[in-house]
A and B are shown apart, each in its own frame.
Chain A
Amino acid sequence: MAGHRLTADAPDDVVAGYLADLAARLRGPRRRREAILAELSDGLDQAVHDHRAAGLPAGPAAEAAVVQFGAPQAVADAFGGELTTAYARRTITWFIATGPLVGSWWLLLLHPTPWRTGPAPLFAAIPVLPLIAIAIATAAATVATTGRLMRWLPETSPHHALTATIAVAALSLAGDLTMIIIFAASGTPLRPLSTMALAASLTRVACGITTIRHTTRLRGR
């Protein structure tokens, strides 16, 4: 069996070795990987139990169970799409969820004075609103078409979900950098409110750069 050597190890060692081999090959969010390994561990225990009930001794039963489950690389490849999609959904959701946390500081700092209704003064004060709107639309479409709406809409592939993740992170990065530049150019002195807005945006800029680099690497695999 490719990728997993059958040995004369103790039955528990055969199953543990198989799971360790698989764990080393899975790529994606840690909690999802742990849940997958826990589920497969239970399945393997059941398979060993079934083979023993069919008359095999403990060692051959464990070996038959891991053969039945497939080569670790084949199983890791089969889970690749699910783990990639889980990563994309989680990352996109994080960027959208942190939007109000960052944006509210900038809104409090740069809101039109006095508060006026209507989009024009708001766009003038916060010019990145169109970027935010595009990011929200991209995120909503991706999360919907990798979730329950994929019953009715074409499913977004894992590769395209990664592309959408890069787009959302890049839009967020552009929005944060624009706000920082606008503030720096205004010459306004640093106050607690502006310090909070800058710190929030700089944190997200760092996260955006890390996400774009990591997701681009994943997408290239």
Chain B
Amino acid sequence: MLPMRPELLKGHLDTLLLAVLEPGPQHGYAVIETLRNGSDGALDLPTGTVYPALHRLERAGLIAGDWQTVGGRRRRAYRLTPAGQAALGEQRAVWEQFSTAVTAVLTRRAWPATA
């Protein structure tokens, strides 16, 4: 699948990152790889530029980050907070409504004639 243009992701990246963290905590690199692999490579942003989005979500209180030591290495793991879970639910509903409306318009075969 062709990579998607970064500007198309604007406004959706936060929701996608929250969705990736929904099943359970993950460290930053794993979050970004899950996003890439889960979209069959379509969401292929430079890894280093996605970390700031995680930091912003943490500042907003939607995810929480904790330093852990794994195999002698310090690693920062992120988990969804209750506020993040609620925000994800809201964003999912908004997206479903939006995508249903856009799909309905884009897949219409013939427009009715106007008077």
By a beta-carbon cutoff of 8 Å, the part of chain A in contact with chain B is: 22, 35-36, 38-40, 42-43, 45-47, 50, 68-71, 74-75, 78-79, 81-82, 85, 146-148, 150-151
Contact = CB atoms under 8 A, between A and B. Distances in A.
Contacts of A43: 27-29, 32, 47-48, 51
Contact of B60 (A40, A74, A148): A148
Binding site of B, secondary structure by majority: helix, strand, loop or mixed?
Answer: helix
Q: What 3 pairs between A and B have smallest CB-CB spacing?
A: A70-B46, A75-B48, A43-B29
Nearest to B30: A46
A35 B54 CA distance: 13
Contact of B73 (A22, A45, A74, A79): A45
B92 to A, nearest CB: 16
Looking at chain B, what size class is its interface with the partner chain?
A: 20 to 34
Nearest to A68: B47
A146 B48 CA distance: 22
B29 A42 contact: yes
28 contacts: A22-B48, A36-B51, A38-B74, A39-B76, A42-B27, A42-B75, A42-B76, A43-B51, A45-B73, A46-B27, A46-B29, A47-B29, A50-B33, A68-B46, A68-B47, A70-B46, A70-B49, A74-B46, A74-B48, A74-B49, A75-B49, A75-B51, A78-B49, A79-B52, A81-B56, A85-B59, A148-B61, A150-B59
